[in-house]
Structure 1
Amino acid sequence: MTMKTRHRELTAVAMLAGILALTGANAAERPGPEPHPPTLKFVRAHSMGLESRSPVLLPVVLMPPATETVTVDYAVTGGTSSPGADRICRPGQLTFEPGVTSQAIELIVINDDKGEPDETVIVSLFRPQGALLGEPSSHEYVILNDDPPTIQFETPVSWGTEATSGALFRVTLCSDWISTVSVRYAVTTGTSTGGDDRVCLPGELVFRPGEDMKLIHARIRDDETVEPDETFTVGLSHLRNGTLGKPASHTYVILNDDGLGGPTVRFCERLSRGPESEGRVLLWVALTKPMPVPVKVDYAV
């Protein structure tokens, strides 16, 4: 190797070293990418459990771990459940100390013995400090009813004239149930005579899963006898997979539509009652037969 060649090689190495040194210096001077702030969110958007399960923990995660303290507020923002009666979940704040990635919100479910529909509660996160809010930022918890459903009449009383060929009484189931629900019914009392004034044979109502309403049928017999209004009461009994609600009986008033004077106007009930908190009360008045012209009647206390 000649001295001239050796000199060229040393010069090239020196230039390369200078370039590398300059590149490293510039890289050290340039700031690196800004670190992404951590994200707060619920682990899941939905969950459920029986009302006998309490307390319930709703987990919230922080990813990635933070180097400083992170906080986030939470509160109930929706749902069909009632605070204090169905659940307790007071507003609060979660605190994530450096390195902590998981916290939980406590939901207390109140277990009762009421047959009722499933209910929900929605808890939401807001006002994060030191982190961003991710999704899901809300969690819906479904409180599954584990009490037998309630069976009851839709109304306690109804009425119709003798000319009404049939009467229908609605019996309702307050919520869907996973098993078949049944209840027996029969006439329990009244001033009407079975066979002469009405026909309402004992029977059984069967509610299959998904059904929430059944009908009891009664046939009213029309005669030409001038007589007082008559009644009969149908009661529910012998429940299977259910509990008895209110009203548990239904009274039907057969309005007499026979008389020398033709159609008459009368109160549908001789007596009614209610709590003083009920406020406005309706007192029903019936015309025993439809008329082709308007009919007026005065009333006073």
Structure 2
Amino acid sequence: MKHKISIVTPVFNDWDCLQFLISDIGKALDNSLYTIHVLAVNDCSSEIPPDAFVIPKNIIFERLDLVTNVGHQRAILIGLCHLHEKQIDSQHIVVMDSDGEDRPKYINQLLETSKSSGHNKVVFANRTKRSETWVFKTFYVFYKILFRLLTGVRISFGNFSCIPISILSRICNEPDFWNHYSSAMIKSRIYYEVVSTERGERYTGDSKMNINSLILHGLSSLSVYIESIIIRILKINFIILFILILCATFVVYIKYSTTLAIPGWASYTFGIIFNILFTI
């Protein structure tokens, strides 16, 4: 008996890439025991999609057209909610990008890992090798460091993942997933596991992800943790305030209780301390 899986992939103008992806999915799962349903979420593309795609015989293809552009992350969740509302009979839902950077050959690995975990964990693919420019890689490393500093947690994976059907309802009803899929997964405390994969090359065309997109992507992931970030910043401010009060007390002590004071230095030091106080 064949089990059904659904694959959700957001698309914005990458129609040529989508055709390659559909073909590669068909090849990667050709000898598997799965019936494959591919849902392409058209994020209000400015380029008209082709009238038809070449669909392998083992794939059922569906396109969901959005009337406005909502961005990559929300397009993913709309696709998941669409499947949840239809009450699909799939055992797993795979989320992946349509440009080829999430390689279909790893879908079986995600499915097998989910099976070995008892179908109660979301399985994410961690890209061990990246193929962007050094500028993009530098900003990406900075983003991960900043995310760790502000939130206290690590983020090492993107959207490529496998969701057991039993967890789909929880994801669709958790508001944070509308902002950022992987960041919300960490915060939600849904059980997940990470497997290592290599990042693929784009099938064709240029990547839509540039520095500006990365900054917006980073802000979206941080917005999920906005309460924690505010609390962390307040704690740091109180620590700085306490240190400044100690410094000011020490300056007063040196000036009035010892003979070590240099004329004018106390006023200068107090000026620096008050400037820092007004800054924070």
Shared fold (TM-score, shorter chain, > 0.5)? no
The TM tier, using the shorter chain, reads: under 0.3
Higher strand share: 1
Higher helix share: 2
TM-score (norm 2): 0.23
Higher relative contact order, structure no. (Cα contacts within 8 Å, ≥ 6 residues apart): 2
Q: Work out which of the two has the higher radius of gyration on C-alpha atoms and give 1 or 2.
A: 1
